[in-house]
Every structure is written in C-alpha cells, then in structure tokens.
Amino acid sequence: MYKKILVPLDGSKIARQVFPCVVEMLNAFGSEAILVGVCDSEESEEGQACRIYIHNEAEQLKNIMKTSAASLKTVILGGKPAEEIIRYAEESNVDIIIISSHGRSGIKPWSVGSTVHKVLHRVCTPLIIVKAKEKPEESDETRLFNRILVPLDGSERGARILPYMAALAQKLKVEIILFHVVEMGKHVHTIGGLEYVRFNDQDIDKEKEKTQSYLDGITSNISGLKSTVKYEIRVGDSAEEIIKLAAEKDCSLIAMSSHGHSGIAGWAYGSVTSKIIHSLNKSIMFVPSLST
C-alpha cells in the first residue's frame, strides 16, 4: 500500500520539510521514494540545474535513512508542475504523494500554494500535505505518524481511509483517534427555500448509540501490535468539532477521505473538507473517494 512514494520538490528549503515523514515511511515499509523535479524543459539550463538539485536532495535523504530495504529514485520532468506530478503519479502507479504545503510561494496561514492546490483537486492518488513551518527547528523530531485524527461520517466513501490507517497501525507506533460528529440538525428543502431543522434529543441519542457500535467494530479491525486505536463522538458542526479536537489532542496528522455523504465528484470540494484545509494548522492526508 505504501510501496511507491512520490516526493515532488521545487528547489525550496520548505519543500525538504517532507523528508522526516518520507523517512518514517521508508523505514517502516521498505518503500521506494521517487524524488521528482519539474522544469520548463528537461534539456534546458534550468533542467540541468534541476537535475543537480534533485540528485543532491536524494543524497541528503540517504544520509537520514536508517534502512537498506528502501530505495531512492530521481526523476526530472518537463512541463507544468501540477500536470506533470499528476500524470507521473497515475502512469507510474504511485501509492501516495507526499508534498509540502508551500514551496517558492512562501509561508501563508494554511493557504495551499498553487501547485499543491491543483494537485489536491485533480489527483486520484492518496496525498499527504505536510504543513510547512516558516522557521523549523533543526532539532525538531516531531513524528508525523504520532497521533492521527481520522474523521468518519459513517459512509462507505468516508471509510476509504481505513485500510491506509490499518497499514500504518501494523508497522508504526501510532495513536489513532477515530472521530464522528453527530450533527444537531440538517438542511431540508421547503417551499420557502432551504431551512435548517434541528434534531430532537432522542434522535441525537439514537445516532450516538448507532455511531458507538459502528466505531467499536472499526477499532478492533485496525488495531496493530504497536498502535493504539481510540474513538470519540461529539455533537455539533462537523468541521468545527474536527478542528477543535485536533487542537485539543495535539494531533500530528488529520487523515480523511475527500468526501462522505456529500457525494461531490471533484475531490476536496466538500464543505467540511474545505473548512479543514483552510482553517487547520496541521498536516493532512487525503484518500480520494471518487463517485462510482
């Protein structure tokens, strides 16, 4: 599941902040990391400079790897970065893409850079966006796969993230928190337009009981020897409660399917997902849940 990892790099120091995450996966799964640089033309002067840069970054990554089972590969592509990253990922059957939230564009408050934004919305490959730090500490050894918050909405699409969590739980010492938010009401179409109808307390209690049974079953299925799996249920607005819990638990990563009940075909356009991307100062893992 994590055997082939694509690592796009753009020449910035910020892009290198994905390396600790990549190394975690290489050491755990013996994966192949493919370091990719994209330039206007592979044969141009820029292309040659890009080739040297990617080679040097590969040497840096080798120096911090702890396993001989993993392998590194460097690739230089010519063209527009987002389009080439997506094309290469799909043609090469990449298992996951790991990319920094910002590159040359600099640091902004969780405003996904243009290349990352395009990849996020178009790619059909699982994606980890590592939240870049403006001034990372050299001694910062925070593990990305330390405490992972996994929002679930009870749908099959929302559950597409679970096999990826189960694979991590088998190989890494990680705490996984499954999370479901019971909404207090729903929007319904009426003669007067769209109205919000609140659920009564009895309906909310029934939904909480149903959710507890659902999460109990999942917890036992994805537990690993080194990992712990917990769950929480709260009542409120889904996006707000996810953001709040991620901060409360100091989660290192939010892992979720791109859609649940919304059923929107283009990925990462759901309202909950959009709020999380633009409001949460955390690294995020997305698994596409495309409509069938």
pLDDT higher than threshold 80 for residue 113: no
pLDDT digits (tens, 9 = 90+) for 210-260: 999 999 989 988 877 789 999 999 998 888 899 999 999 999 999 998 754
Rounded percentage of the chain residues whose pLDDT exceeds 90: 44
| Confidence (pTM) | 0.85
pLDDT higher than threshold 60 for residue 138: no
The pLDDT assigned to 237 comes to 86
Please tell me which residue, 235 or 290, carries the higher pLDDT value. Answer: 235
Which residue matches tokens 């009895």?
202
- Enter the tokens of residue 247: 């901060």
The pLDDT assigned to 270 comes to 55
Query: What's the rounded mean pLDDT across residues 70-96?
Result: 92
Query: What H or E segment, with its residue span, contains residue 173?
Result: none
pLDDT digits (tens, 9 = 90+) for 186-198: 766 667 666 667 7
In 66-169 the beta strands, taken as DSSP E runs, fall at 71-78, 96-100, 127-130, 147-151
Residue 7, strand partner residues: 35
What is the DSSP code (8-state) at residue 18? G
Q: Look up residue 144 and give its amino acid.
A: L
Query: What H or E segment, with its residue span, contains residue 276?
Result: helix 271-279
- Enter the tokens of residue 101: 């939230």
Query: What H or E segment, with its residue span, contains residue 135?
Result: none
Do residues 77 and 84 lie in contact, with contact meaning Cβ atoms separated by under 8 Å? Answer: yes
pLDDT higher than threshold 90 for residue 263: no
- Domains of the chain by range and CATH? 4-130 (3.40.50.620), 147-287 (3.40.50.620)
